């Protein structure tokens, strides 16, 4: 048995079965042997592929969004620009490249990367070499006293969730225990007292609740309400209440048994965006309507950007590159790919919702000249 698995097994023997949230947190964030401490692998050759690795267009449009939000804030200087869970650093690189169109924004931006993984910090620092930046373990380590713009792409999905199952008219909680051969298994235990859950749920319904996701959102909402600014949260998840088991593990771009090898795979759950939005509002901030990623990117102009990049590639005799750009666009916006699975939420303190959360007016909307 691997060292982390052995320690988890001993913990279960001593203290009893773990909640799913506890199991996820220990597997992902154990400082010695957790997934993010030892082996996070992103990109085509890793365990999973995020939107910034799909195409530069994704990060570039987030850069355009950030500059637009900064302008709507009154162009404050300084402004804290923070990415939560920056992964490979690709999104920040592309964001900053797009922001070159507004030098005043780059001059005002105080760049922070909120990252706990030592291997990922090294990769991010190398990719952003030559740029002034600071690292933080959590958002509360990013200095306050200035407005902030926060980007969180595939950040909330690794926050553990507790999972409850409706059986014989009552709710029971899924917990991770050990079978007779010391293998990790899911079992059912009574839920904590005071559980707020629907009593009209059908038999077999699975309810996921993530106090950690909600706590982060409430703290973010309070920070934005106090200091001003906006946050953009993008993740796979649901835009309305639903039952369902979304606990999964990814390794080598394949789903694997999440209980088989603790610390060796990325564990995730879908983000409950309605609950996250409600928590941010409890913190005092406003929220824009939860919007599918495909629609959000189209509203920001990704199709126009793709056409420009493809045209440039064709002029250079790179028809293969033009075709690849078309495939990247479909991957990001097609409802059968990432376009509908991923949702986008803005938490903000602006007078109106930021770009991407309402259709732009038609180009011919201006009054006709008599």
Q: What is the DSSP string of 264-303?
A: SSEEE--EEHHHHHHHHHHTT-EEPPPEEHHHHHHHHTHH
Is omega for the bond preceding 73 within 30 degrees of 0, making it cis?
no
Question: How many CB atoms lie under 10 A from the CB of residue 188?
Answer: 15
Q: What mean pLDDT is reported for the chain?
A: 93
Distance CA(123)–CA(135), nearest Å, equals 13
Distance CA(333)–CA(339), nearest Å, equals 4
Q: Where residue 2 falls among pLDDT bands split at 50, 70, 90?
A: confident
Q: Which of 10-24, 60-74, 116-130, 325-339 bottoms out in mean pLDDT, i.e. has the lowest?
A: 116-130
- pLDDT at residue number 252: 78
Distance CA(47)–CA(262), nearest Å, equals 15
Instruction: Name the residue with tokens 């309400």.
Output: 225
Q: What is the mean pLDDT of residues 7-31?
A: 95
Identify how many contiguous H helices and E strands the chain contains and give both numbers: 13, 17
Q: Give the list of residues 6+ apart from residue 153 with CB closer than 8 angstroms, or none.
A: 50, 51, 52, 62, 83, 85, 87, 91, 234, 235
Tokens of residue 203, six digits: 């038999």
3-class secondary-structure state, position 203: coil
Residue-wise pLDDT for 168-222, tens only, equals: 999 999 999 999 899 999 999 999 888 999 999 999 999 999 999 999 999 999 9
Beta strand 206-209 pairing with 271-272: unpaired
Distance CA(90)–CA(123), nearest Å, equals 10
Residue 52 clears pLDDT 70, i.e. is over it: yes
Distance CA(191)–CA(201), nearest Å, equals 15
pLDDT above 90 coverage of the chain, percent: 85
- pLDDT at residue number 47: 52
- pLDDT at residue number 40: 59
Distance CA(74)–CA(71), nearest Å, equals 5
Residue 129 clears pLDDT 80, i.e. is over it: yes
Residue pair 185/179 in contact by the 8 Å Cβ criterion = yes
List, in order of start, the domains of the chain with CATH numbers. Answer: 37-159+210-300+343-348 (3.40.50.150)
- Verdict on whether the full-model pTM lies above 0.85: yes
Tokens of residue 256, six digits: 């694997």
């Amino acid at each position: 048995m691997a060292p982390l698995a052995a320690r988890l097994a001993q913990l279960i023997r001593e203290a009893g079965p773990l909640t799913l949230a506890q199991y996820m947190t220990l597997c992902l964030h154990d400082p010695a042997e957790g997934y993010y401490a030892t082996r996070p692998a992103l990109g085509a050759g890793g365990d999973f592929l995020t939107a910034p690795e799909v195409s530069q267009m994704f990060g570039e449009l987030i850069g355009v969004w950030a500059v637009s939000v900064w302008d709507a804030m009154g162009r404050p200087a300084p402004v804290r620009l923070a990415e939560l869970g920056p992964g490979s650093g690709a999104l920040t690189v592309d964001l900053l490249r797009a922001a070159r169109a507004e030098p005043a924004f780059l001059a005002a931006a105080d760049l922070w990367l909120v990252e706990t993984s030592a291997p990922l910090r090294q990769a991010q620092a190398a990719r952003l070499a030559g740029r002034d930046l600071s690292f933080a373990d959590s958002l509360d380590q990013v200095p306050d006293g200035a407005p902030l713009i926060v980007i969180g792409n595939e950040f909330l999905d690794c926050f553990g969730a507790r999972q409850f199952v409706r059986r014989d008219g009552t709710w029971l909680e899924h917990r991770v225990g050990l079978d007779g051969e010391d293998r990790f298994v899911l079992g059912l235990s009574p839920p904590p007292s005071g559980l707020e859950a629907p009593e009209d749920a059908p038999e077999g319904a699975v309810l996921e609740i993530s106090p950690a996701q909600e706590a982060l959102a409430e703290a973010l909402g309070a920070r934005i309400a106090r200091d001003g600014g906006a946050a953009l949260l993008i993740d796979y998840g649901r835009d309305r209440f639903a039952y369902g088991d979304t606990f999964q593990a990814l390794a080598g771009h394949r789903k694997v048994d999440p209980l088989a090898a603790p610390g060796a795979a990325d564990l995730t759950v879908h983000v409950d965006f309605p609950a996250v939005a409600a928590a941010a509002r409890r913190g005092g901030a406003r929220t824009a309507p939860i919007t599918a990623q495909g629609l959000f990117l189209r509203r920001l102009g990704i199709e126009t950007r793709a056409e420009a990049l493809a045209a440039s590639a064709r002029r250079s005799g790179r028809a293969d590159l033009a075709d690849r750009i078309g495939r990247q666009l479909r991957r990001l916006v097609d409802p059968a790919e990432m376009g509908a699975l991923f949702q986008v939420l803005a938490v903000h303190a602006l007078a109106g919702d930021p770009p991407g959360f309402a259709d732009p007016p038609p180009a011919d909307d201006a009054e006709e000249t008599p």
